[in-house]
Structure 1
Amino acid sequence: MSKIKALLTSLLLAELFFSCKKSTDIVPDDSSDTQDEVNALENMELASDYTWNTTDEKVITLNGTTGTVNGTGATISNGILNISSAGTYKISGTLTNGQIVVSTDDKNLVRVIFNGVNITSSKSSPLFLDNAEKVIVVLAEGSNNVLTDASTYTDVSEGQNAAFFSQTYTAIMGAGNLTVNGKFADGIASKDGLVIKNGNITVNSVDDGIRGKDFLVIRGGTFNVNSGGDGLKSDNETDADFGYIGIEDGTFKITSGGDGISAQTNVNITGGDFNITSGGGSSKTVAETLSAKGIKGLTSVALNGNFTINSADDGIHSNTKVSVFDGIYEVSSADNGIHADNEVVIKIGTINITKAYEGIEAKFITIDDGNLSIVSSNDCLNATAGNRTEQNDGAILTINGGYIALNGSAGDPLDSNGSMVQSGGTVIAHGPNSSPEVPIDYNGTFNISGGILLASAPGTQMFQAPSTSSKQNSLKLTFKSQNAAETLFHVKDDKGNTLITFKPVRKYIGIVFSSAELVKGTTYTISTGGTSTGTLNGGLYSGGVYSGGTEKGTFTITSAVTSVSI
């Protein structure tokens, strides 16, 4: 196992195991060899990297194209500050057209303290970390530091393409400020791994904002990234051990022309506040050959935190798996809110998808708990293998709990090209504007054994209820005439107790209702219209008193699915 893979994995394991506040442990998919990974982390990123004796600092003062060096290990000539030995260097001042270069074969680290530097280069990267065992860049408390390159480079040796460019393991820390203006391409880029412990960092870049090719690990800090390409990126395509992004905490504002956060393999976020606008936001569209997703991890995405995502592409995307462990999500997307080719798992959290083509899409969708509100122009929950068949494709939508409100204007709120299973939770499906789209659509079976299911249908064509093999009873109701949008639907039992008061957002002629309170042999009364003093949540009232409605008829539960026309 490589040191870099171990660094990232053990970092995430520590955070995930010890910050878990729920009864269900949050464990990454790859949790093998945990102790080896912890040991490797200790060998890679050391606590001593971030502490030092101030008496060891070598003070460097820059002035235009020259400067002074107090101590050995560094020289300055013709605007170039060369650091050629391991040690701690405290730098202040300005280079108007120059560069800081770190290049040493020493086996100890180089620590560079920015204590108010402003470096501008018209030729290449203002900061070039060429060769070292490791480099720690420290932002001195209260300091303001600026790196700015030019729109064209005359020196692109070693692939320099960023204002802050590194070819070695690099860490950034400190309570100071760093502004990076990448006018040529990237803002901050490492061809190795990049760790950011903290800092107040602003990046403006033509291409990618912050890039760690092998991995990008962020422990905390405040970030404002404006990039023409991807905002945060890790893109090693040749080694499956690399290409990771791991974020423990921090405050992020990311505005990107490409993806907001993009990893070749895994994105693992265990905390933080994120405001991401990608590709111009959900009012824009991008060509199929481009990518402007909010968060993308091709192998997997695992999330916990607070997210506001406004994307011209998928809000959250993986080619394999997306896991939501907790957090708050506000998503507006021109494509899918959350998409994975294979699996989406929602453990718990508050997910509000206010705009999407399809809300959540994967072959296997599992919702264990949480509060979900999804507004989409097509399907809200879509379990599909992606082959566009009308046959059972093996997809499964599983709902074990949660409060789920679905509003699909021109699609199916609940859709599985395979089967559906509901064992708990509350699911409210506001049907589409017109047939042949329906509130519930499945090609296999839909077995319900617990929870509440409510769905309104605009027509009777292809109108489906749960399967007759279900353990919990359901009502499949068809009215003889259409009910106007927002006309209340009310059911009470033979003792006058309210079972349900539902307010569909669109006109409806059909209702599907399933509840443990629907008991075989019991008679119930249906009313429409009227008002309720209860609290409305996603179309379902809780508490309060229903009054003023018109009784439409009664029904008696006779089987797992009782079909009624009134």
Structure 2
Amino acid sequence: MNRRKLKARIMALLLGTVILAGCGNKASAPINVETGNGTSENTKTTNSNQNSFVVTRDMITYDNDDYYTDWTKENPVYVELNGSSANVKGSGAMVDGSKVTITSAGVYAISGKLEDGQIIVDLKDKGTVKIVLNGAEINSSNNSPLYVKSAEKVIISLQGGTQNTVVDGEKYALEDSSEEPNAAIYSKANLTINGNGALTVKGNYNNGITSKDDLKITGGNISVYAKDDGLMGRDMLIVKEGNIKIEAGGDGLKATNDSEELKGFIGLQGGSFDIKATKDGIQAETSMLIEGGKYTIVTGGGSANAPSKAKIEGPGGKGLGGNPPQKTTGESKPNSSNTQNAQTPPSNTTVPNSNNEGTTTTASSETDSAKGIKAKSDISISGGIFNIDSKDDSIHSNNSVNINSGELIINAGDDGIHGDSTVTIRDGKINIEKSYEGIESALITFDGGETRVVSSDDSINVGGGADGSAVNGRPGQNNLSTSGNNKLNINGGYIWVSASGDGLDSNGSIYMNGGTVVVNGPTENNNGALDYDGEFIMKGGIIVSAGSSGMAQAPSDSSTQYSIAISFSSTQKAGTSIALKDSKENTIAAFTPEKDYGTVVISSPEIKKDGDYTVYSGGSLVGNSTNGIYTGNDHKEGTKIVSFKITNSVTWLNESGVTTAKTGGHGAEKQGHRYSKNISICQCVWYALADTLL
């Protein structure tokens, strides 16, 4: 070894030591050293919710008086508002200046305008008060205009054909410090709103409508403009029917009780909702059940306001962060000579620490949640039409998400659908038009339905740990780990994805028993159309995936259904059809990738052992596709690429014929230690310098 080379290597070692010393203080998260068996030495557990339950239909109940009735036959007391005073016809209410206090149970019909005063319900005994808003305008500059201080239950009926308004001021002057009204309509009792009239509520002080117990809505045209939350029911918030419009500086709909068993939930069975919220659109402190209704939800100004997420990719195609990677005998180093797909980070990209999986954000320090639909325990959707445009996740549960039916259009600044523990899709139509990651959970199961996902990172992402994301926190928040409990199960349905990151990404295993999957994968070689750390057992269904070749994977050799994977020597242009045909020229599967690709994987029950097959490129696809895949004789005039015989469960191909599976990185087989998904940029430098010394 000449002296110049020796000197250079010593200098490189010293430089690497200095760099690592500078990085050492920044490491704050456990490092996942992942081994070939798909396990991780450190895994992140999801915080459990002590009040965890699933809302069932029998928990959403209504009494007869929750529905509108003809109040004129109920011996009403008439209250006529006259500017700064009021007249009462009947007994049960008294007037003190501009303050009307209802002290007895009964029906009270209110009309006219109160310029600066209050309607107060303060019963001496238990009972129900029905307040009929019959063309009423109630204003208060310094308190809650409609304040239920004491009652068993209060019903607000909106007379058909009338417009009613309740408006408070920006500051409250409370006579008693023990009082706590903070909404234009504030109730310490169960509160129901029904009828066919219109109600406009302006909560300039804080909330629009708040019940400290149950809040039920069975009808009415309700518009709420609130400085903070729009509608709040502490114990429950349930809606049967009604047209509800909300513009809120906080959350749109909200239930908040997390300390009592089977409380703090939301149940929505019908109605029309137009929600614009700075924070969450619909938020349950525990669980939520949606069985019907029409929902337009915009949070945080929409997905266009989401912070940019500039990613720095490291060895193995994942984020950079952590300690120097371990190197075992015979382990290959990253291919530093392949610069074809090298990316230059944006000028505003910062060096990540070990806590954020190599992705950074240019967002501000704001941490408020701006999710479309959110619950701590469970979200179950069994009907309804949704159009969600959220700055943060569109649907988010700290535990489970179940979609049993419904139609959803989602534009998310972060995850389209996220459940810390599970996401299960049984039926329905889901169209995630925009997302950072499409669907994310530790356990994702598809049993049916039609799901379409467009993502700027991974489309379907399985990984462990709670999602700590808020409007600025998404990149790297999960620190996803490899775990035997992480699974993607595909039993049925149709799944179509277009991913700039991984198409199907499991930090665990994938099991496919049925259904159809179409993957338009990444064009960059640091991600793959299919990406898994454990095994991919293919037993049934059809999968067609196209993406880059650098990290290409196919189903595992232990699969019982046969698959083929072909890698091309040069990139194939978007729109170039690919077809697999049998010896009789019947098309097994053909489709047209929408992006450039280098590797295609096809698995179908029609691929048989010892069968002869041919792969064609180009040509035209005619007839009608089934879920984007053409079969039969629908492929015409393509160029023959390669012919072969099926002898193994997975047949790897190139233009010359049968070849062997790739190894290393995210390849088909992983042996020994592989590069962690939490490698820091300092590690990358260390690795490069270390290689010069070895």
Which residue does the alignment assign to 1:328?
Answer: 407
Mapped contact 1:534–1:543 kept (Cα < 8 A): no
Report the counterpart of residue 348 of structure 1 in structure 2. 427
Partner residue, 1:203? 224
What's 1:153 paired with?
Answer: 172
Distance 1:519 1:393 in 2: 31
**What per-residue deviation string (whole Å, max 9, x for no partner) do you get for residues 257-288 of structure 1?**
00000010011111000000001100113756
Correspondence 1:294 to 2:383: no
Q: Does 1:253 align with 2:332?
A: no
Pairing 1:319–2:336 present: no
Q: Which of 478, 492, 508 is matched with 1:401 structurally?
A: 492
Q: Does 1:108 align with 2:127?
A: yes
- CA distance in 1: counterparts of 2:386 and 2:525, whole angstroms: 35
- SS of structure 1 residue aligned to 2:583: coil
- Compared CA separation, residues 30 and 457, structure 1 to 2 (3 A): closer
Instruction: Name the structure 2 match of 1:525.
Output: 614
Structure 1 counterpart of 2:541, which letter? Answer: G
- Answer yes or no: is the 8 Å Cα contact 1:505–1:539 preserved in 2: no
Alpha-carbon distance between aligned partners in 1 of 2:432 and 2:625, rounded to the nearest angstrom: 18
| Local SS of the residue matching 1:116 | strand
Amino acid at match of 2:614: T
> Does the C-alpha gap of structure 1 residues 390 and 125 become closer, same or farther in structure 2, counting only changes over 3 Å?
closer
- Rate the CA distance shift 1:62–1:128 in 2: closer, same or farther, 3 A: same
Amino acid at match of 1:439: A
Q: Return the alpha-carbon distance in structure 2 between the equivalents of residues 80 and 484 of structure 1.
A: 75
Measure how far apart 1:418 and its partner are. 0.6
Deviation string 1:503-526 (CA, Å, 9 cap, x unpaired) is 112211211110000001111111
Within the alignment, does 1:384 sit opposite 2:466 as a pair? Answer: no
What 5-or-longer segments of structure 2 have no aligned partner? 1-51, 308-364, 466-477, 656-694
2:593 corresponds to: 504
What residue in structure 2 maps to residue 130 of structure 1?
Answer: 149
- Secondary structure at the aligned position of 1:164 is classed as strand
Structure with higher strand content: 1
TM normalised by structure 2 equals 0.74
Cα displacement (A) at 1:324: 0.4
TM-score norm. by structure 1 comes to 0.90
Q: Percent identity?
A: 41
Whether the 8 Å CA contact 1:412–1:432 is kept in 2: the answer is yes
Distance in 2 (alpha carbons) for counterparts of 1:400 and 1:502: 22
Residue 643 of structure 2 is matched in structure 1 by 554
Who is 1:238 aligned against?
259
Cα RMSD (Å): 1.9
1:394–1:417 Cα contact (<8 Å) kept: no
CA distance in 2, matches of 1:113, 1:449: 62
Contact 1:161 1:185 in 2 (8 A): yes
* 2:303 counterpart SS class: coil
Using the alignment, how far apart are the partners of 2:227 and 2:578 within structure 1? 55
Cα distance, 1:88 vs. partner? Answer: 0.6
2:566 maps to 477
Q: Which of 1 and 2 has higher RCO (CA within 8 Å, sep 6+)? A: 2
Paired position in structure 2 for 1:363: 442
**Is 1:534 equivalent to 2:551 in the alignment?**
no
Which of 198, 201, 217 matches 2:238? 217
For structure 1, the 5+ residue unaligned runs are: 1-27
CA distance in 2, matches of 1:186, 1:465: 53
Partners of 2:562 and 2:603 within 8 A in 1: yes
Match of 1:182 in 2: 203
SS in 2 for 1:283: helix
Aligned to 1:270: 291
Listed as ranges, the matches of 1:17-56 within 5 Å are 30=54, 45-50=62-67, 51=69, 54-56=73-75
Residue pair 1:534, 1:542 contacting (<8 A) in 2 also: no
Give CA deviations for 1:413-449 in whole Å, capped at 9, x if unaligned.
Answer: 1010011111111101111021120011111111111
Amino acid at match of 1:291: S
Count matched residues: 530
Letter in structure 1 aligned against 2:523: N
Task: Give the drift of 1:561.
Answer: 0.7
Alpha-carbon displacement from aligned partner over 1:56-95 (angstroms, at most 9, x marks no partner): 1111111111122111001122111110100111111110
Q: Take 1:432 and 1:539, find their aligned partners in 2: how far apart are those partners?
A: 18
Distance 2:458 2:624 in 1: 27
Q: Partners in 2 of 1:260 and 1:316 — Cα distance?
A: 10
> Match of 1:431?
521
Tell me the residue number matched to 1:281.
302
- Quote the offset at 1:238 in angstroms: 2.5
> Which of the two has higher C-alpha Rg?
2
